[in-house]
Amino acid sequence: MSVMKELVKNGEQVKMVSSSGKAAVHRGVLLEKADLMDGAQAARVMKDVRIVYHCAQPAYHKWENLFARMQNNIVEGALAAEAKLVVAENLYMYGFVKGSIHEQLPDAPISKKGKIRAELSQRLKQLHRDGVLQVAIGRGSDFFGPTVRNSSVGGRFFQPIAEGKPCSVLGNPDKKHTYTFIDDFGKALVTLGNHEDAFGQVWHVPNADTVTPRQFAEMAYRIVGKPVKVKSMGKSMLRLGGLFIPEARESVEMMYQFDNDFIVDSRKFSERFGVTATPMEQALAQTLEGYLAARKMKFSS
């Protein structure tokens, strides 16, 4: 959705694809339904496009069985359309890093999902090196925004804050953690698609200054004028929740990102393209405005 918004702002013709065929798209945007696990459907919706922005993923607990197949179908569709491919990735492939996380680090995954991410990314980079497909990769950290719900700082974090209730953060609330504003992620991916020299490279999208989860929550509570109430959720609670919620069970192996400092370096992108992140306070204000508006709409209906 953030990619769509940026493309529309730039006057581009945009086609959005989702498995349900439903999304709140801007006026003039074509919305199509497709199952990306089906190669024929993937190829159909990519026909005649110039750039494919790949922001899709299977359900969190189905990566092992479905992610490679989904990506392969997207790659084949882009090849058939003779389109360029811009891919949104996360940072799982780096594994545990002491110090800042930058693009020159080797893949060193220590989780099942990290290994999957590393393999998928390596395949994309090899396609570019072989001259088969032009690929640019943008990587973001845990993302948040007005319409973001499925994230470590999504609905289960911001909804309680908007209601003045206690929020939960993963891991140690006093370790530093980089967060990515979703609109910055979308703008960065479109920027990559518009620059020839961006292809064949990995780029960390712009992020605001790194803070601790507690500081992140404190800023959010301050914006809505509510008292700060922060709870920490560790591995034991996630394992318990995993008995009923597959996504919680799958999150346990990623806790190293939240039990230690997790600091992402995005200087390469900012220095090349002159683009910086939205200031944290502003990004949080926009996010909470979206949550409060959604809450008001829910109660009014």
Domain count, the chain: 1
Q: Please write the tens of the pLDDT for every residue from 198-254.
A: 999 999 999 999 999 999 999 999 999 999 999 998 887 778 776 567 777 888 999
Instruction: List the structure tokens of 159.
Output: 């909804």
Q: Within 13 A of 129's CA, how many CA atoms are on the CB side? A: 7
CA–CA gap between residue 12 and residue 191 (Å, rounded)? 13
CA–CA gap between residue 266 and residue 81 (Å, rounded)? 31
Residue 283 CB neighbours (<10 A):
23
Residue 231 CB neighbours (<10 A):
12
CATH at 131: 3.40.50.720
Domain holding 72, by residue range, is: 2-300
Which residues touch 101 (CB under 8 Å, ≥6 apart)?
91, 94, 178, 204, 262, 263, 264, 265
pTM of the model: 0.95
Angle at the Cα of 98 from the Cα atoms of 97 and 104, rounded to 5 degrees: 55
Q: Please write the tens of the pLDDT for every residue from 109-149.
A: 999 999 999 999 999 999 999 999 999 999 999 999 999 99
